[in-house]
Amino acid sequence: MPTSEKFCLRWNDFQENIISSYHDLRTETDFSDVTLVCEEDSHIEAHRIILNACSPFFNSVLKKNQHSHPMIYMKVTKAKDLAAIVDFLYHGEANIYQEDH
């Protein structure tokens, strides 16, 4: 029985590249496919795949909504809080001021 060799291809800077790509996606709206709207009628463009991968809430909402570019109204969410949430999902961290909460 012939044995075949197994090759492992590894991208040495994969994690750094993903982090950089997420940062670029967060600041640019070229490929955004979801709009998040909050109380003050502010909105943030986001990416379904990022929201889906990082949040069970968004995963559930987006599974139920098959629209090509859904608009999700984040009831009682302030603009700065929504921005912090999205920053957290894209970057794994967010900066908020204690006096704001």
pLDDT of residue 101: 61
Model pTM score: 0.81
pLDDT digits (tens, 9 = 90+) for 28-82: 988 999 999 998 889 999 999 999 999 999 999 999 988 999 999 998 999 999 9
Q: DSSP for 22-77? A: HHHHHH--TT--EEEE-TTS-EEEE-HHHHHHH-HHHHHHHHH---SS-EEE-TT-
